[in-house]
Amino acid sequence: MIPENALDELRAMLGERLSTGKGDLDLHGQSETWHPPMPPDAVSYPRSTQEVADIVAVCARHNVPVIGWGTGTALEGHASAPRGGVTVDFRHMAAVLEVRAEDMLVRVQPGCTREALNQELRATGMMFPVDPGANASLGGMAATRASGTTAVRYGTMRDQVRGLEVVLADGRVIRTGTLAAKTSAGYDLTSLFVGSEGTLGLITELTLRLHGQPEAISAAVCAFPDTGAAIDTVILATQMGLRPARVEFLDAATAQIINDHDGGTFEMRPHLMLEFHGSDAAVAEEAERFGALAAEAGGSGYRWATQVEDRNRLWAMRHAAYHTILASRPGSTAVVTDVCVPISRMGEAIDRAAAEIAASPIPGPILGHVGDGNYHAILLVDRSSETELAQAKRLSDAMVLHALDLGGTATGEHGVGLGKLHMMAREHGAAWDVMGAVKRALDPDGLMNPGKLVRQN
């Protein structure tokens, strides 16, 4: 519990923007997946970096944990509060602060969402490309080193963050990075905080790279006889220099669920969903060349469209796939896998995962970002069944261990949080202890988002 004198200091500072109401606490203790509720003791709603620094300083004096909160879309319990404490909700720090068109940069506050930023940029001819599906906050996306459907062409959050403003565990405010395109001056602190999941400090401002809006966009869909044919087509296309902006995989089970829920017309086979960006001529050429490669691999039903309505409908189905899959088993929650492997081994990894799921009593449709070797199995479990949850965790762990054996990682984009913590030693070995040393150097009392990412003090 938070000491009453700490609450008094925070109330004096924030007034009604400090909440201890049950509704607020419950909301900020929830996860979108299987993780049990872990509410904080209080929720704060700062409006400025100085207020964030003051909140953190109060918590540091009273040994109170601090947890950052963006939009609550994380899947691995990143924003839960296993030790209680104060959640810092950034909803009132959501502004686009500056667009530097000539430098292709933008400064934003952490609560700004990717959709809000792109709406703001519509008239500039620029866009922010990272698309994790959910309308996540940019601060949260940086904290988890998120990516998504467009990473195959544009990269992940790691590639987009030029600089940060961060409040450290003792209340100090630092800035990392510069507006310059490169630097050789000292440690790369920007990269240290990107992916740190709030365990080293709270991000209060981001400077992000922008990209030009493509002149033309086309979307395509193709069915394949099996997973291997689909993956091999993607590998060959990459080797031939094709650069799709999105390359998404759906297994037959996912295709069936989307058909039933959204009125889709997918064949009951594995599919690729693609998007091409560029000039009119370049987009048409890439779409046609990919179609020819797909046909050679036994693909069927290849079709591509340039109409905005058709593209939007296609990607709306893909982005809603997680919740559509959840709805296919009413009353269920999910253990969501997030492994990433070298693309050359992706067909093997998916086939093995599918076989293990088929041999279990757990439904587990598979989809993913095959352009960069990342796939998700949505392991559906009855919320009231500890037996099913244990079986799903066993399946998830088996996929992680296989991915690590193939030279991959436990998490390609969702982050570690609570859910992948037990796999960190297996993936990183002694390097995990080094991460812990960095954590202790910057947060010696272990107050910043405790219980996540690193071995506990």
Final residue belonging to a domain, choices 50, 74, 91: 91
The pLDDT of 194-203, averaged and rounded, is: 98
Residues 178 and 235 in one domain: no
Give the whole-angstrom CA distance, residue 434 versus residue 454: 10
Give the whole-angstrom CA distance, residue 280 versus residue 273: 19
| Adjacent-strand bridge partners of 274 | 220, 247
Q: Could you give the percent of the chain with pLDDT greater than 70?
A: 100
In terms of residue numbers, what domain contains 114?
96-212
Final residue belonging to a domain, choices 212, 243, 268: 212
Strands (E), 45-145: 66-69, 86-89, 96-100, 105-108, 126-127
Residues 418 and 336 in one domain: yes
Q: What pLDDT was estimated at residue 307?
A: 83
Q: Are 134 and 73 in contact (CB under 8 A)?
A: yes
Residues 22 and 113 in one domain: no
Q: Return the H-helix or E-strand segment holding 201.
A: strand 201-209
Give domain status of residue 187, yes or no: yes
Residues 225 and 310 in one domain: yes
CATH number at residue 159: 3.30.465.10
313-370: pLDDT as tens digits: 888 888 889 999 999 999 999 999 999 999 999 999 999 999 999 999 999 999 999 9
Average pLDDT over the chain reads 95
Q: What pLDDT was estimated at residue 457?
A: 62
Q: Locate 336 and state its tokens.
A: 């969501």
Residues 187 and 232 in one domain: no
Residues 273 and 377 in one domain: no
Give domain status of residue 456, yes or no: no
- Asked whether residue 16 carries a pLDDT value surpassing 80, the answer given is yes
Residues 167 and 198 in one domain: yes
151-196: pLDDT as tens digits: 999 999 999 999 999 999 999 999 999 999 999 999 999 999 999 9
The pLDDT of 441-451, averaged and rounded, is: 97
Q: Are 381 and 34 in contact (CB under 8 A)?
A: yes
Poorest-pLDDT segment among 23-32, 295-304, 307-316: 307-316
205-234: pLDDT as tens digits: 999 999 999 999 999 999 999 999 999 999
Give the burial class of 52: count Cβ atoms within 10 A of its Cβ; 0-12 exposed, 13-18 middle, 19 or more buried.
Answer: buried
CATH number at residue 259: 3.30.70.3450
The pLDDT of 297-303, averaged and rounded, is: 94
Give domain status of residue 423, yes or no: yes
Per-residue CA distances from 281 to 121, 212, 277, 285, 365 (Å): 25, 17, 10, 6, 36
CATH number at residue 31: 3.30.43.10
363-388: pLDDT as tens digits: 999 999 999 999 999 999 999 999 99
Give domain status of residue 135, yes or no: yes
Tell me how far apart the terminal alpha carbons of the chain are, to the nearest angstrom.
20
Q: Could you give the percent of the chain with pLDDT greater than 90?
A: 92
Buried b (16+ CB within 10 A) or exposed e, 368-406: bbbbbbbbbbbbbbeeeeeebbebbbebbbbbbebbbeb
417 Ramachandran zone, left/alpha/beta (phi>0; psi -120 to 50):
left
The pLDDT of 408-413, averaged and rounded, is: 97
Give domain status of residue 169, yes or no: yes
Residues 35 and 71 in one domain: yes
**Among the residues of 359-429, which ranges form H helices?**
386-405, 424-428
Domain count, the chain: 4
Residues 305 and 221 in one domain: yes
Q: What pLDDT was estimated at residue 126?
A: 97
Name the pLDDT band for 304 (thresholds 50, 70, 90). confident
The identity of residue 138, as a single letter, is L
Q: Which of 134, 215, 160, 196 is nearest to 435 (CA)?
A: 196
Indicate the pTM of the whole model. Answer: 0.95
Name the pLDDT band for 309 (thresholds 50, 70, 90). confident
Angle in degrees, CA 309, 116, 305, rounded to 5: 20
Residues 229 and 307 in one domain: yes
CATH number at residue 365: 3.30.70.2740
Residues 174 and 238 in one domain: no
Give the whole-angstrom CA distance, residue 149 versus residue 408: 19
Quick one: how many helices (H) and strands (E) in the chain?
A: 17, 18
The pLDDT of 138-147, averaged and rounded, is: 97
Q: Which of 101, 111, 107, 97 is nearest to 207 (CA)?
A: 107
Final residue belonging to a domain, choices 321, 351, 373: 321
Buried b (16+ CB within 10 A) or exposed e, 7-28: bebbeeebeebbbeeeebbebb
Residues 305 and 389 in one domain: no
